[in-house]
Structure 1
Amino acid sequence: MYILRKSVVVFKYLFLVLVFVDIHHGFNKKISIMILLFLFSTVIMINDYVRNKILNKNSKYKYVSLVFTICGAAVLKYFVRGLGASGYIFFSLAELFGVKGKLLKIFFLIHGTSFFIVSILNIGIPNTIDKLSNVGMSIVSYFAVASIIYSIKMIQVEKEETKQLNEKLKLANIKLQEYSLRVEDLTISKERRRVAQELHDSLGHSLMALTMHLEFAKKVIDSKPDKVKVVLEKSEKIAKDSVNDLRKAVNALKEEREIEHLNEAIKNLIDNFEIAGGVKINFNEDMSMDNLDINIKNSIYKTIREALTNSIKHGKSTEININMIKSNEGINLIISNNGVGCDKIIKSNGLNGIENRIGLLNGRVSYFSGKNSGFSIEANIPI
């Protein structure tokens, strides 16, 4: 969408340049009129720049500026005959379709009226078949161009809505992961029944509501790209799985989950985080890791889980690499991403939790980052 907007701006100013050329070509023998038209065109150009770059989106002056552009373009079309002025008058339509409510009707009426008045003035009173035909062609061409611009605008809006939906689904998936982790990490004590009821009342209802919303979304966006549908189906599955996990937890909360098959657990974790191509996670599978001590496997799993959550939620990463290397000295775990990074690392509860878990195994953790250089976690665990 950004590229499309830039292209529209480029073509808009290109047509203004053509207006200057047409003014010079048509009025080079009438210097005073040529200078006035040059000045008037320059004022319109400055007005457009101020409206698009300086004025606030909801400023009333922005609407005044848009009206000035519409009327100014009509004046240019009347005095300056040529492709430049004829094309430039349509560019304000693109902005016009961004206005909502009654204002859209008012602006469209102003634009259409200006166009038709100038067309009739240029063609003359339609008292002959030729003139009447020219007026008719002018009307048809106006609505044809308006329809094309409106269609392009609606496609832009749909793409933006799809993008926002993807972002919401990503955040929803991360929250699901976080909620699932809370259930997974609960240590059972004397408050078992109270915690189970609390989880059922809050997490259970929230996840069920999310499932219903995603099912509804899946029904109404069949016309959207297939990728979005895949996202919805995957998110729906994650939500239902989380509800099933919750019911199991409520029925019988057990001790902290133990990771038996580390590689399989990590791949399942990755599958839940990979949404519609929004993030790519590379993982080098090593089956020998499944033979490690249960405490080491649990710590590795939780470290990867925390790193994935932070990479997507805070780092805005699109690619994450997970490397596990086993040697005689120990395990070397490196998790890196291509996110925004930071110049100064401020340790959150999640990073402190990683250090504490690895520290209990006599291991050590290092962090590497830089602005726009991603973020890396390296953990070394002796075996």
Structure 2
Amino acid sequence: MVPFQNETHWVYKIAQLTRIGWFILHLLIVVLFLNPIPLAWLNMTLLFAAFLIPQWTNSSGRKNYPLLELFFSGLFLIVGCYLLGKYSSFLAIPSLCAGIYSRPGKERWLLWAGFTIVPFLAILAVGLNQLGMGVIDGLFFFGVGIAISKVLEAEKKTKVLLEENNRQNQLLEEYAKQIESITLLEERNRLARDLHDTVGHTFTSVIMGLDAVSFLMDASPQKAKEQVGRLRDVMRRSLEETRTYIHQISPNDDKEDLSSQLRKVANEFASHTKTEIIFKSNGAPVAISFQGAIALTRCLQEALTNAVRHGQANEIVVTLNQEVSQVILVIMDNGSGIKEEKFGFGLNGMKERLESLQGSLTIKSGNLVGTVVTCFFPVRVERMRGENLQDDQSIDCG
């Protein structure tokens, strides 16, 4: 057996210390009581062999330790009982240690049978009149050792599972970060294309319109003035759209919480459109993924735009409810409402964003009664990895 201080699990350390003390006790018994009898040197030799050989073998590999413990400790028990003339319970601790270090499989059950038979052989060496409770030493203590060994095996399996779980959590964490980076890149690319198309289309229209104005200035100054006014309106609308796109490129670059981000979007929309927007936030801030923040931000922007553009609303109430397991964003306006729920490009985009994150979008409206848009988003629980780490620290299987 290896030195006990090199063992990493306290069960193995206690087993080794108990075994060492057990052999020291029997060494004293041999010296004090068996030394005068014939062949005492043989018994002393067998005692040292029973102590040292299994221990030395276990220091290089535990595979054969239980078998060697059975052979040498059993031999010492049989010879010692024969020389002493009475039965001894020497095999108790060696059989316990052998059971603790035994490995699963058929070999374990054969060893158990061996530790059960050896005491009977010792009884036969001293006479059946010595038959008593001592004969169950091997049977009972090796069984206890097997039970302890099974507990240690289950503990090791649990540790392996926790380590694998933590490894998978780390992989998922890295994967989530990669997804966030890809999502951000795709979002910026999409907005860049939209911005390019919007600005390019507007500038082309304005340039063609200005070319027409240059011909109308001499022929029809009044029509030229009207054309300039229309071009001014086009440029004003294009400027507002460009500002919106620029704001959407990186709404989450700062480290604000979700409530602050959505409040900023609502306040900017209110200042641009002169619409009264009341923003309410309920619950403590929760950490959500980048994709979730992007989805809710886009949904709020689309809902506000629809409320003003299609519903002619002048008052909008935005309510953000943050809970441990979910986030619910409700946008309620006092506009003209819609006669029938019809998902266009914008609403379909909102719905697809939320559904891709296991969320949902619901719209309730009626003619002249306003519209209520509800965005549901489940919160990803981030505490699992920390709990697993705490569980992992509580297990020490060597």
TM range (shorter): 0.3 to 0.5
Structure with greater contact order relative to length (CA < 8 Å, sep ≥ 6):
2
Q: TM-score, normalized by length of structure 1? A: 0.45
Specify the structure having the higher radius of gyration (Cα): 2
